[in-house]
Amino acid sequence: MNQSTCALMLAMAALTGCSSHSSLYHDQPLVAKVDTGMSKAQVLQIGGKPSAQSDRTVVPGTCFDYMLSKPGQQQQPYMVSFDQADKVDKTSFITCAEWSNAQQKSRQALPSMGGMGGAGY
Domain locations in the chain as residue ranges: 26-106
For 26-106, CATH number?
A: 3.30.1450.10
Residue 104: per-residue pLDDT? 85
**Contacts with 11 (C-beta within 8 Å, 6 or more apart), sequence order:** none
* Percent with pLDDT over 90 in the chain: 51
Q: Which of 72, 57, 61 is nearest to 105 (CA)?
A: 57
24 pLDDT band, cuts 50/70/90, is confident
Instruction: Choose between 71 and 63: higher pLDDT.
Output: 63
DSSP annotation string for 10-72: HHHHHHHHHHHHHHHHTTSHHHHH--TT-BHHHHHHHH-S-SEEEE-SSSSSEEEEEEE--TT
Convert the pLDDT of each residue in 98-117 to its tens digit. 999 888 888 875 555 555 55
Residue 118: per-residue pLDDT? 53
Give the whole-angstrom CA distance, residue 107 versus residue 59. Answer: 10
Residue 95: per-residue pLDDT? 96
